[in-house]
C-alpha cells in the first residue's frame, strides 16, 4: 500500500510539472520570433525612416552604344553650297544659255582646259563673280592680261584671263563687290584675235593661299545654275 501511494504521488507530480512548462519559449520558436522582429515594421512606422531599395541606390546602367555612323556623301564637290548669293556670270550681258562646258577640253602639251571660255566681243565688260579682293594682277604668256581674285574667306581663287585691259584704277588688294566691273574681254596671251573671249577658272586654294597654286573645279555648273 505504501508503494502504491508513492507511485500515485509521483504521477501527480509529473503531470503538474509538465503543465507548468512554457512551450512558447522553445529555441525554434525563439528563432522564429527573432526573425519576425527584423522584418515586421515598428508600431510607429509612420515616424520610421523608410528603407531605400538596393535598386534605387545602385541603378542598373544600360549598355552605352556608340552613335550610328553618319553616311558618307558621294555627292560631287559643290561651291554653290559655300557661296551666298551664287556666282555671277562674269561677262556683261551673258546668260546661262550662252555658256558651254569646255572644262575637260584638250589643250596643247596634253593639258586639259580646266576652265570655261565665255565668247564675247572685244571690250565687253568683265564683272567680279562674287565679293572678295584682287589678289594679283599678272601677265603670262598663255593667259595674257589676267586677274586673280580671292573670295572673302580666302578659300577660292577666281581667275580671269585674255583680258584686253583692266578697269581704270584697279589695284592689288583692292576690295571687290559682286558685279563690279574689273576689266574687258580680249584676246591677249595665246588666244586667237579672231575669237575674243574670257577664260574663267575657279581654284580651291591650298593652306598656303598662293594665287598660283590650287585645285581646279568646273565653273560651268556653278555659273549655269546661277541664272546670270
Query: What is residue 7's predicted lDDT score, i.e. its pLDDT?
Result: 64
CA 143 to CA 163: how far, in whole Å?
8
Decide if pLDDT at 4 tops 70: no
CA 77 to CA 119: how far, in whole Å?
26
Segment 119-162, tens digit of pLDDT: 999 999 999 999 999 999 999 999 999 999 999 999 999 999 99
Query: What is residue 194's predicted lDDT score, i.e. its pLDDT?
Result: 95
- How many other C-beta atoms are found inside a 10 Å radius of the C-beta of residue 32? 11
Mean per-residue pLDDT for 208-220? 90
Decide if pLDDT at 87 tops 50: yes
Mean per-residue pLDDT for 191-215? 92
Those residues whose C-beta lies under 8 Å from the C-beta of residue 86, and which sit 6 or more positions away, are 80, 222, 225, 226, 227
Residue 36 lies in a domain: no
Residue 201 lies in a domain: yes
Does residue 185 have a cis bond before it (omega within 30 degrees)? Answer: no
Q: Residue 70 corresponds to which cell in the numbers above?
A: 553618319
Query: What is residue 110's predicted lDDT score, i.e. its pLDDT?
Result: 58
Range of the domain at 91: 81-224
Mean per-residue pLDDT for 6-28? 53
Mean per-residue pLDDT for 16-44? 43
Helix H or strand E encompassing 185: strand 181-185
CATH of the domain at 183: 2.70.70.10
Q: What is the β-pairing status of strands 215-217 and 197-204?
A: antiparallel
Segment 26-39, tens digit of pLDDT: 444 444 444 443 34
Residue 145 lies in a domain: yes
Residue 19 lies in a domain: no
The residue written with cell numbers 551673258 in the block is 94
Query: What is residue 16's predicted lDDT score, i.e. its pLDDT?
Result: 53
Query: What is residue 115's predicted lDDT score, i.e. its pLDDT?
Result: 86
Residue 54 lies in a domain: no
Rounded to the nearest integer, the mean pLDDT of the chain is 73
Give strand pairing partners of 166. 183
DSSP 8-class letter at 148: E
DSSP 8-class letter at 34: H
Residue 189 lies in a domain: yes
Residue 161 lies in a domain: yes
Decide if pLDDT at 207 tops 50: yes
Residue 219 lies in a domain: yes
State the total domains in the chain: 1
Amino acid at each position: 500500500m505504501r508503494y502504491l501511494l508513492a507511485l500515485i504521488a509521483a504521477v501527480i507530480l509529473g503531470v503538474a510539472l509538465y503543465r507548468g512548462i512554457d512551450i512558447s519559449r522553445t529555441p525554434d520558436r525563439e528563432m522564429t520570433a527573432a526573425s519576425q522582429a527584423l522584418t515586421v515594421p515598428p508600431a510607429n512606422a509612420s515616424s520610421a525612416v523608410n528603407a531605400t531599395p538596393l535598386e534605387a541606390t545602385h541603378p542598373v546602367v544600360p549598355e552605352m552604344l556608340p552613335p550610328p555612323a553618319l553616311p558618307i556623301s558621294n555627292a560631287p564637290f559643290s561651291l554653290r553650297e559655300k557661296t551666298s548669293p551664287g556666282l555671277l556670270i562674269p561677262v556683261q550681258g551673258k546668260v546661262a544659255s550662252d555658256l558651254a562646258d569646255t572644262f575637260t577640253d584638250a589643250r596643247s602639251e596634253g593639258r586639259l582646259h580646266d576652265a570655261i571660255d565665255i565668247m564675247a566681243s572685244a571690250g565687253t565688260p568683265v564683272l567680279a563673280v562674287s565679293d572678295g579682293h584682287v589678289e594679283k594682277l599678272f601677265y603670262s604668256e598663255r593667259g595674257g592680261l589676267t586677274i586673280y581674285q580671292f573670295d572673302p574667306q580666302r578659300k577660292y581663287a577666281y581667275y580671269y584671263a585674255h583680258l584686253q585691259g583692266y578697269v581704270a584704277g584697279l589695284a592689288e588688294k583692292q576690295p571687290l563687290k559682286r558685279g563690279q566691273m574689273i576689266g574687258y574681254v580680249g584676246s591677249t596671251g595665246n588666244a586667237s584675235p579672231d575669237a575674243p573671249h574670257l577664260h574663267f577658272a575657279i581654284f580651291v586654294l591650298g593652306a598656303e593661299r598662293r594665287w598660283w597654286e590650287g585645285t581646279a573645279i568646273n565653273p560651268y555648273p556653278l555659273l549655269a545654275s546661277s541664272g546670270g
